[in-house]
Amino acid sequence: MGNPYGKILSVAGAPGFVAAGFVARLAHLMTVLGTVFLVSSVTGSYGLAGLVSAAYALTYSVASPLLSRRVDRQRQSRVLAVTTLANAVSRAGFLVAVRLEGPDWSLVLLSALSGGTMPAIGSLVRARWSHLLHGSPLLHAALAFESVVDEVILVAGPIAVAVLVTGVDPMAGLVLALVCTVVGQTALALQRGTEPPVADAGRHGRGTALTTPGLPWLMVTFIAVGTAGSVIDLGVVAFTEEHGARAASGWVLGLLALGSAVAGLWYGARPWSSPPERRLAATLPLFTGGTLLFAVAPGVAFLFPAAVLLGLTMAPALIAGFSAVERHVPRHRLTEGMALVTTSMGIGISLGSATAGKAVDLWGPRAALGWAGCWAAAAALAGLVTARRLRRATAAAGEREHARTG
């Protein structure tokens, strides 16, 4: 197939929406950490900073699937025109409230409004790829490419925030996030030639992607994967600090992200004949094994190869999951389906952040890393159930089609 990534980026309009999506997604990844830095530096309260940041994450998790459902019915450009303005105003209002040292409730409210008006940009970009490459073997490479982009943003966003708030101003990180959300969402909205067509509400009704057989279990799978990954992040920091080498945590987590990106590029370039849900079920036990390596680490040096091995399993699992959504969710509900899975991952990350610290305090870093292994095992079990449900749904659909035509 040659270089599939060169081929997908040569598709008319693809470089434009990829770039716009990157910028808009960067804004989202910068917001949570940027909020913690800003609020804690101005108020001196990490408790308030965590509450304000959590308000953003919570409303984003609730609102983004609803906005994606609206996108399926009204086009991306129409919804983005509204969310761009609303998100920019709420973000600007939040910055003003912080600068004027407004009451705590105003910071929580404006942060919540910022999260509630932020669409799931990654889902919009993946929906465009699905629209342009539906039925093409290149779609697999496109979804893999987007997972690698996610990994890059996951690393670049926090680094950009840390550099700006320490070297420029505590507000600088969120100011850049505001600029990115306006530029990225506006650029994406203006590229109407690549957006998917609007669903026919009269023909398809007003149901939800949640009714797709197997999708709720896939969401459970992604929640567990997100939780495991988040616990690993904090557990690594605590483990290296306990061993007097906290600076090594950044290198360990960087290797994990690098391993995931490399695996994602390889995985996307390879043609697969097996259905994605089967590949997901096969990959998650490897993910569990990689996670458990951290729990048995004899020292910091062991974390480096463990991080690479775990990273090699992460992107393939995520790519297989998104490919399963693209394969099984009806096209008129695809953006919502993508957003539900993405949001599930975010819920898992939040859950991991909330529980990992308590696990470290109660049981120590090694036990916390074992806690991550428990969540990874739960993901593997949920992945098996997902594959079984989707396989049954596919067989039932085939029987109905055979009865209709035969």
pLDDT in tens, 133-176: 988 889 888 988 988 888 788 777 777 887 888 788 889 989 99
Q: Is the pLDDT of residue 203 over 70?
A: no
| Residue 397 predicted with pLDDT over 70 | no
Say if residue 279's pLDDT is above 60: yes
- In this prediction, residue 185 carries a pLDDT of 96
Which residue has better confidence, 246 or 11? 11
Is the pLDDT confidence value at 97 over 60?
yes
Helices (H), 168-271: 172-190, 201-204, 215-242, 248-269
**CA–CA distance, 20 with 125 (Å, rounded to integer):** 9
Find the mean pLDDT for residues 326-351.
84
For 276, residues 6+ apart whose C-beta sits below 8 A from its C-beta are 319, 320, 321, 323, 324, 327
Beta-carbon neighbour count of residue 16 at 10 Å? 15
Count each helix (H run) and each strand (E run) in the chain, helices first: 15, 0
If DSSP codes are grouped into helix, strand and coil, which group holds residue 208? coil
Calculate what percentage of the chain has a pLDDT beyond 90. 43
The two tokens of residue 11 are: 């598709």
Cα dist. 158→111, 163, 227, 355 in Å? Answer: 18, 9, 19, 21
Q: How far is CA 377 from the centre of its chain?
A: 20
Highest mean pLDDT among 249-263, 320-334, 369-383: 369-383
Amino acid letter, residue 26: L
Residues 105-115: b if buried by 16+ CB within 10 A, e if exposed: ebbbbbbbbbb
Domain with CATH 1.20.1250.20 in the chain: 1-198, 207-406
CB 231 within 8 Å of CB 369: yes
208 touches 336 (CB < 8 A): yes
* Mean pLDDT to the nearest integer, 296-323: 92
CA-based end-to-end distance of the chain: 36
Confidence check: pLDDT of 291 > 70 = yes
Q: How confident is the model at residue 198 (pLDDT cuts 50, 70, 90)?
A: confident
- Which pLDDT score, from 0 to 100, does residue 401 have? 52
Concatenating the DSSP letter of every residue in 42-55 gives HH--HHHHHHHHHH
For residue 307, count CB atoms less than 10 angstroms from its CB and return exposed for 0-12, middle for 13-18, buried for 19 or more: buried
Provide the pLDDT confidence category of residue 404 given band limits of 50, 70 and 90.
low
Two tokens, residue 327: 């394969």
What is d(CA 214, CA 278) in angstroms, rounded to the nearest whole number?
A: 13
pLDDT at position 403: 57
CATH 1.10.10.10 fits 1-198, yes or no: no
How far is it, in rounded angstroms, from Cα 116 to Cα 327? Answer: 28
Output the six-digit token pair for 282.
């096969």
Tell me the CB-side half-sphere exposure of residue 241, using CA atoms within 13 A.
Answer: 9
If residue 298 lies in a helix (H) or strand (E), which one and from where to where?
none
pTM of the entire predicted model: 0.80
The most confident of 21-25, 159-163, 195-199, 391-395, by mean pLDDT: 21-25
Confidence of residue 206 (pLDDT cuts 50, 70, 90): low
pLDDT digits (tens, 9 = 90+) for 181-196: 999 999 999 999 999 8
Contact of 114 with 55, CB cutoff 8 Å: no
CATH topology of domain 207-406: Growth Hormone; Chain: A; (1.20.1250)
What is the chain's percent helix, strand, coil content, to nearest 5? 85, 0, 15
